[in-house]
Amino acid sequence: MPERTAEIELRLLLEAIFLKYDYDFREYSLASLRRRVQQALRQLECASISELQARVLHDPAGFMQLLQYLTIPVSEMFRDPEYFRGLRQHVIPLLRTYPSLKIWVAGCSTGEEAYSMAILLREEGLLERSMIYATDINPLSLERARKGIYPLTQISGFTRSYQAAGGASTFSDYYTAAYDGALFDKSLRDHLTFADHSLATDSVFAETQLISCRNVLIYFNKQLQNRALGLFHESLCHRGFLGLGSKESLNFSSYGKQFETLLRDEKVFRKL
């Protein structure tokens, strides 16, 4: 059956990527991965996954192109505004008790979620004592995140979400518009550290009070979800907070009993 061959080719490709580049996609959800590899085949004009594998093995630039398909580099500021509203109302008051804060945005993509977090903390008067570690595996996304420039075409959507999230100020205070980009404020950037870190292969790097990992775990299979949740559990301080994407939960993981639900709909949990 041709589909069996394609499945074998896909596994070999993931193995080759792991051996050559140390990126481990072997425990990602297969359905979505399969589709994205198919898209990459069309775009990179390869007739088969085997051909793509050969290309990727011999050409790091080709791998970087493929990585843009394997990761899903899409994000928004204040995506799911009710999540940020929930943090503002129910988590921030508890974070005030800490003299200094470390926050981890895992799978930050091009940085929108991390900047949203920084804005939220600024408005609540906590940014000055905070450091936000925002991590991802896609170097191109991290580079864009560090620049902090977003297309002006997206700003009206971001502004709406900012307001819906309970924004306490005027969104345009946080950026300066230039040409077709909005450059976000340097004073936010000073509290953001963007770094390469994989939830699949790396270990914990700091003790944190809040971790936000949204729309990343859905791309992992159960084992890898558990690995990532294990890192979060280890990194969080006693009674630390974990925020997930709006359709993510701990229900099918082995960590359900080690967190309590703080906000059910907004998917905010608290370490027990």
230 near ligand SAM, rule: CB under 6 A: no
Per CB under 6 A, the list member of 138, 161, 208, 225 interacting with ligand SAM is 138
| 262: DSSP letter | E
* Contact call for residues 259 and 213 (beta carbons, < 8 A): no
Show the beta-strand stretches assigned E in 18-107. Answer: 101-106
* Contact call for residues 111 and 148 (beta carbons, < 8 A): yes
Q: How far from 234 is each of 22, 92, 124, 137, 261, CA to CA, in Å?
A: 23, 21, 27, 20, 18
Per CB under 8 A, the list member of 93, 221, 234, 254 interacting with another protein is 221
Question: What type of residue is 60?
Answer: P
Tokens 């890898």, residue located: 224
Q: What angle do CA 160, 166, 168 make, to 5 degrees?
A: 100
Q: Which uninterrupted H or E stretch holds 43? A: helix 30-43
Quick one: 62 or 256, whose CB is closer to another protein?
256
Quick one: 12 or 74, whose CB is closer to ligand SAM?
74
27 near another protein, rule: CB under 8 A: no
192 near ligand SAM, rule: CB under 6 A: no
Stretch that binds another protein, among 27-35, 152-160, 171-179, 185-193 (CB under 8 A): 27-35
30 near another protein, rule: CB under 8 A: yes
Within 126-165, the residues that bind another protein by CB under 8 A are none
Give backbone dihedrals phi and psi of 133, rounded to 5 degrees, phi first: -95, 120
Within 240-269, the residues that bind another protein by CB under 8 A are 247-249, 251-253
Token pair, residue 227, equals: 């690995």
Binding site for another protein (CB under 8 A): 3, 29-32, 34-36, 72, 74, 215, 217-219, 221-222, 225, 247-249, 251-253
Binding site for ligand SAM (CB under 6 A): 71-76, 79, 106-109, 112-113, 136-138, 141, 198-200, 214-216, 219, 245
